[in-house]
């Protein structure tokens, strides 16, 4: 048998001299693996025999079939990657939304903490003022006379203003 190889294409044709009749196209076994370049095929067909024409035609069909399969696989993978990318972006947007919500909650919690701190400072300031008034009240009780009563009345009035939310003075 004579082997003629071109690229990855192999044509197995029995030796024509040992055969009594010419081999038909059905007897030729053709192997084509993968996609072949158009340069692998002859541009001028006039010099080719019928068997060579059939051989190249079958090789082109096999190459085209391989190319079609590869293209279909590429399209399928492309669709899969597009779906995966969309799912990833959707998940990313979800995370972004959650991060924004958490950030807003954190900012609100910080604002509340600041307000509580200001209220605690104001309470502490009032408490110190009340303690001061109570000390003055104790000192005024020790004294006797009109000024003592006047002082106690004035201190009680200051205490009322302070407890109602006003200033101590």
Return the exposure string of 111-136: e unless at least 16 CB atoms fall within 10 Å of the residue's CB, then b. Answer: eeeeeeeeeeeeeeeeeebeeebeeb
Does the structure show a pLDDT above 50 at 161?
Answer: yes
Does the structure show a pLDDT above 50 at 75?
Answer: yes
pLDDT at 134: 85
Pick the range with the lowest mean pLDDT from 34-38, 84-88, 160-164: 34-38
Q: With bands split at pLDDT 50, 70 and 90, how would you rate the model's confidence at 33?
A: low
E strand or H helix that includes residue 29? strand 29-31
For residue 28, the SS3 value is coil
Does the structure show a pLDDT above 50 at 155?
Answer: yes
pLDDT at 2: 44
User: pLDDT (tens digit, 9 = 90+) per residue, 129-139?
Assistant: 889 888 888 88
The terminus-to-terminus CA distance of the chain in angstroms comes to: 122
């Amino acid at each position: 048998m004579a082997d003629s190889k071109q690229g990855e294409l192999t044509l197995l044709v029995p030796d024509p001299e040992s055969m009594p009749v010419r081999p038909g196209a059905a007897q030729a076994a053709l192997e084509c693996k993968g996609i072949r370049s158009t340069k692998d095929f002859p541009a001028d067909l006039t010099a080719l025999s019928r068997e060579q024409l059939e051989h190249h035609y079958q090789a082109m069909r096999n190459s085209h079939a391989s190319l079609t399969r590869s293209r279909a696989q590429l399209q399928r993978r492309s669709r899969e990657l597009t779906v995966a990318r969309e799912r990833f972006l959707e998940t990313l947007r979800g995370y972004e939304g959650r991060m924004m919500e958490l950030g807003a909650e954190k900012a609100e919690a910080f604002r509340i903490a600041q307000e509580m701190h200001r209220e605690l400072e104001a309470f502490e300031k009032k408490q110190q003022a009340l303690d001061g008034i109570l000390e003055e009240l104790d000192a005024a009780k020790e004294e006797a006379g009109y000024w003592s009563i006047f002082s106690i009345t004035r201190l009680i009035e200051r205490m009322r203003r302070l407890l109602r939310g006003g200033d101590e003075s």
